[in-house]
Structure 1
Amino acid sequence: MFPIRSKRLNKFPPFIICIWFFLLMFNNYSYGQNEIRGKVFSLQDSIPLFGASVYFDGTNIGVSTDDDGSFKIPFTQNNSSLIVSAIGYESVVIDTQNEISVRTIHVLYLQEKTESLDAVHLETDPWSRTKKLGIFRREFIGKNKASLACKIINEDALRLRYIPSSKVLVANSTEPLIIKNKHLGYKINYTLTDFEVKFENSTMGLTLPYYTYYQGYSYFEELRNRVSKRTKKNRENSFLGSTLHFMRSLYKKTLDEDGYKVFYDSFQVPTYRYFKTTHQESLMEIEVLTDEIDILYNDFEQSGLLFEKKFYIDAYGNHTPANALNISGEMSKKRISNLMPVNYKIYENE
């Protein structure tokens, strides 16, 4: 038995992105092994920004700024970017793997978003918003049991356009998407930076999606103070067999123990034959010695991995760059409705 490839591909959000805007001054700064402090101001008038969000991408570790724009956030070495955002302002994205970037987080200036006119399109969009929104929900949220209990609260913030000549649906958002996931017990704040779905015509003349790509930054909050046993079980099921689980197992070199089998050209091969691993401080560099392998999880869930370049993994299971590989099969079906914080089960009390 070996994995059967699906045509659907999906890339996941990146975890390391360059600083977009401004890191200035050398006052009001404090950095310790377990905490980062700083202040957030408006670039235009230097007014402190109250209630700005400061969080590690893909985690449930986040805080809001005080009246004077100050914040302090727990810090452990990981591969998640630190995101600083506020409504009406461009976000700042800080690479926490860069020691200089981390040590210069003291005073941050956010630039106000400028309202721009919609681009002039030479092609008429033939699809209704209802149709495009339905496709967006299926490709972004997913279409499984978990997706039935997952809802985007502020869909009005979405801007969607279908381009007939290239058969591509693109989307962006004027503000972070607020996603309420009752299945996993999370509220997710998701800043969508890129989204596209590519289509092709089937033999029956239908226009069907075959490739989905999206990226963004996410912050998780608990929906309830107490997590039920059912929700904990749902979280465990979403985590097991996911890209995050696979990457964390690859980092720890526990793929066999965690239920993964590796196939090449339809035949099972020694698990690490095509993975060349090199530790670099807190990261593991992964060089894959072939373009494509197949994965079987728990003798049932089949996925395909198509590699474009070497990538890096940290102990959390963060992998970067996101475009280093394409994912098909069961792993790719776990969309936002199955998305777990990258620090899930890192601590023993979780």
Structure 2
Amino acid sequence: MKQLFIFLGYLFCITTVFSQIKIEGNVTNTSKEALFGASVYVDGTTIGTVTDENGFFSLTIPSNINSVLVFSYFGYSTKYQDISPKLTRINTVLIEDVKELKEVVVQQNRFSRKQMLQLFREQFLGTNKAGSNCVIENEDELYFDYDNKSFVFKAYSDKPLLISNAYLSYKIQFQLVDFECEFYKLSINSSDILSALYAGTSFFTDIDTDKKYLKRREKSYEGSSLQFFRNLVSNKWGKDDFLLFEGSFMTNPTEHFKVTIEKEGIYKINVTKQPKKFNKKGFIAAFNILHDKKEQSKITFFTNTFYVDSYGLFSEYDKIYFSGDITKRKVGDMLPSNYGL
């Protein structure tokens, strides 16, 4: 099964953020009224704040990161801002979000909301210990659509999903932008999925930093895509980390990936094209990955160039696919992108 997991920050152009940048500004509505308590955060991190009674915020970004600032306030459309080292003050105007009544199309659908909600939990949160210990506190905000002809299941939420992760001890605010599962037949079972993806912005808040939670977070990090891309740019490979295989033969990563520093904290990766193995349009290369001598995954590239920042966030998200053990790590195992840095 092909899996694709995205943060909205990956959708934006590569930018460079130098360490210890202070960004401040005001958040107002179209009537120039200050919005008190608006959320301002760096997508995918624990870096965030809320506006005061004057709509003022001040935020220090401590390191290089390829992400965006998210401005969110209940009843208003969320706004995104590319982070630039030259942009130290941002005055943001949020527009009131007037929701129209959704048209209800009555069609024969053999799947109940309970079944669709169960599928969403499995493919969004995960079914391992971390995923099973996550609770979406506002599940009523979710609504679903299943196209009986194309076998495509979609999920939506107009408000951020509020997720309590008791296993890793995080509170997560996740603005769902996209969620889609494509099946090879009319089914609601995860075993029948051809491909799955989700996209959105997220903000993490620590609940407890007891040693047991820190140990669990480290376990979730080990073998994750975040660790893989951090290791890739630092050329860190080995039997206790990741080993790269071309087919069933171990191969030297430097023969397949050329890593160059594009800007401070931004790395350009060139992927060497493999001999044509199948007639999939745009195919560049595919590798098997072994982590810690036991977890087996596969990564397939449909791009010969992409970028990774010092946090491990990568561009060209829609052209890089994982399968295997690494895809079992869903939102339940998701860590802030500034984890460990």
> TM-score with structure 1 length normalisation?
0.86
Residue 244 of structure 2 contacts residue 251 of structure 2 at CA under 8 Å; is this kept in 1?
yes
3-state SS of 2:253 partner: coil
Q: What's the RMSD between the two structures over aligned residues?
A: 2.2
Match of 2:81 in 1: 94
Alpha-carbon distance, 1:119 to partner: 4.3
Change (3 A) 1:122 1:93: same
- Distance in 1 (CA, whole Å) between partners of 2:334 and 2:152 is 24
* 2:154 matches 1:170: yes
- Distance in 2 (CA, whole Å) between partners of 1:106 and 1:277 is 34
Change (3 A) 1:42 1:298: same
Change (3 A) 1:256 1:15: farther
Q: 5+ unaligned residues in a row in structure 1: which ranges? A: 1-6, 20-30
Match of 1:23 in 2: none
How far does the alpha carbon of each residue in 1:249-280 deviate from its partner, in whole angstroms, 9 at most, with x for none? 11212133861111112211112221122211
Residue 151 of structure 2 contacts residue 185 of structure 2 at CA under 8 Å; is this kept in 1?
no
Alpha-carbon distance, 1:18 to partner: 4.9
Alignment match of 2:211 (pick from 204, 226, 229): 229
How far does the alpha carbon of each residue in 1:108-144 deviate from its partner, in whole angstroms, 9 at most, with x for none? 1011112123246485433211110000000000011
- Distance in 1 (CA, whole Å) between partners of 2:240 and 2:76 is 43
3-state SS of 1:58 partner: coil
Residue 64 of structure 2 contacts residue 309 of structure 2 at CA under 8 Å; is this kept in 1?
no
* 2:40 matches 1:54: yes
- Distance in 2 (CA, whole Å) between partners of 1:313 and 1:307 is 14
- Distance in 2 (CA, whole Å) between partners of 1:255 and 1:63 is 37
- Distance in 2 (CA, whole Å) between partners of 1:257 and 1:314 is 24
* 2:304 matches 1:321: no
Q: Kindly provide the amino acid, as one letter, of the partner of residue 36 in structure 1.
A: I
Alpha-carbon distance, 1:33 to partner: 4.7
How far does the alpha carbon of each residue in 1:129-179 deviate from its partner, in whole angstroms, 9 at most, with x for none? 111000000000001111221110000111111111010110110200000
Bigger mean CA deviation after superposition, 123-132 or 235-244: 123-132
3-state SS of 2:213 partner: helix
Residue 125 of structure 1 contacts residue 161 of structure 1 at CA under 8 Å; is this kept in 2?
no
Q: Kindly provide the amino acid, as one letter, of the partner of residue 117 in structure 1.
A: L
How far does the alpha carbon of each residue in 1:61-105 deviate from its partner, in whole angstroms, 9 at most, with x for none? 110000010000012331121111111111111122x445x34x4
Change (3 A) 1:307 1:288: same
- Distance in 1 (CA, whole Å) between partners of 2:310 and 2:90 is 27
Residue 248 of structure 1 contacts residue 315 of structure 1 at CA under 8 Å; is this kept in 2?
yes
* 2:9 matches 1:15: yes
Equivalent residues, number: 321
Alignment match of 1:209 (pick from 172, 181, 193): 193
- Distance in 1 (CA, whole Å) between partners of 2:127 and 2:339 is 23
Q: Kindly provide the amino acid, as one letter, of the partner of residue 231 in structure 2.
A: S
3-state SS of 1:342 partner: coil
How far does the alpha carbon of each residue in 1:166-193 deviate from its partner, in whole angstroms, 9 at most, with x for none? 1011011020000000100000000000
Q: Kindly provide the amino acid, as one letter, of the partner of residue 11 in structure 1.
A: F
Alpha-carbon distance, 1:284 to partner: 0.4
> TM-score with structure 2 length normalisation?
0.88
